[in-house]
Structure 1
Amino acid sequence: MSQHLIWRRDDFLIDTDPDRLDIPLIHSVLTASSWSPGIDLNTVRTAIANSLCFGVYHGSQQIGFARVVTDHATFGYLCDVFMIEDLRGHGLGRWLIESCNQHPTLLKLRRVMLTTSTAPWLYARCGFEAINRGDFVWHISRPDIYTSQGQ
């Protein structure tokens, strides 16, 4: 088991300890998000258990989150990044992404990717470059998978 890392800024803290995460908060934000509407709690738990996660805290309250799906050797996929609405616009999202990028695991990866339709300016400021080349990135997309399960 690897050691958990902590970054501090003023009264805020970023921690990679998965046991500290507020799973109900993460689930409530993700299920209401544009990228995973209706995601069920067990799927969130499984995703967290199999990812490198970053919680952002103000005191004992979690206020943000990001996770990286990775093989810990060559590739990482940054996803599920959020900051609670009341604390957006204070640079905490940028600090979160920069902290993710400084994690020793991510520093050694050949490629870190993300897909987003929101805040591209944030990711550009943190070193990400848009690919946007024809036939370069491919995917299978199932945007309604969480709303169609259990029917």
Structure 2
Amino acid sequence: MEWRKNEYLITDDKSRVQLDVVHRLLAATYWGSRRPREIVDSMVAGSICFSLYCGSRQIGFGRAVTDSATFTWVADIVVEPEFRGAGLGQWIMECLVAHPAIKGTQMVLQIRDAQGLYEKFGFSGNSALMNTNVTGL
């Protein structure tokens, strides 16, 4: 699937993930700083990925690990520092929660920051956050 907004594009096409970019973005975070490149390759292969582009440049990433029936783990939502504050992380989340393979599952995540972003999607707290707007379980 693809979503467009102005000059930005989000795609779930794993073949378009720029693995070096994702590795670098995650290496700059508190949660992904110790992940070797091989681990990033493996996690991308086993996830539904949401790659954010400005033109041909990948500037963001997010992923979901799911059984597509009852459970989804939301992980690794990250945007290049120079593009933050423009609502792009929120847009990644909007695309993620609306994705047909994920929609309607119970969603969880674990964070230490950005609670305001995730509260907009029904998450609360900061340790194993749970979407309370889930239907069909």
Please say whether Structure 1 and Structure 2 have the same fold, judged by a TM-score greater than 0.5. Answer: yes
Unaligned runs of 5+ in 1: 138-151
* Equivalent pair of 1:27/1:44 in contact (CA under 8 Å): yes
* From 18, 24, 37, the counterpart of 1:22: 18
* Equivalent pair of 1:78/1:112 in contact (CA under 8 Å): yes
3-state DSSP class of the match of 1:38?
coil
Q: 2:114 is matched with which residue? A: 119
How large is the Cα RMSD of the aligned pairs?
1.4
For 2:109 and 2:15, locate their aligned partners in 1 and report how far apart those are by CA, in whole Å: 25
* Equivalent pair of 1:31/1:37 in contact (CA under 8 Å): yes
The structural deviation recorded for 1:131 is 7.4
* Equivalent pair of 1:94/1:126 in contact (CA under 8 Å): no
Structure 1 131/36 Cα, relative in aligned 2: closer, same or farther at 3 Å?
A: closer
Q: 2:49 is matched with which residue? A: 53
Q: 1:102 is matched with which residue? A: 98
Which of the pair is proportionally richer in strand? 2
**Taking every aligned residue pair, what percent have the same amino acid on both sides?**
35
The structural deviation recorded for 1:120 is 0.5
* Equivalent pair of 1:31/1:39 in contact (CA under 8 Å): yes
For 1:127 and 1:102, locate their aligned partners in 2 and report how far apart those are by CA, in whole Å: 13
Unaligned runs of 5+ in 2: 129-137
* Equivalent pair of 2:110/2:126 in contact (CA under 8 Å): no
Aligned positions, number:
128
Q: What are the Cα deviations for residues 95-143 of structure 1, in whole angstroms up to 9, with x where unaligned?
A: 110110110111131x1100011110000012223377xxxx6xxxxxx
The structural deviation recorded for 1:38 is 2.1
Q: 2:74 is matched with which residue? A: 78
Deviates more, 1:8-17 or 1:32-41: 32-41
The runs of at least 4 aligned residues of structure 1 exceeding 4 Å deviation read none
Structure 1 120/34 Cα, relative in aligned 2: closer, same or farther at 3 Å?
A: same
Paired residue type of 1:13: L
TM-score by length of 1: 0.80
* Equivalent pair of 2:12/2:50 in contact (CA under 8 Å): yes
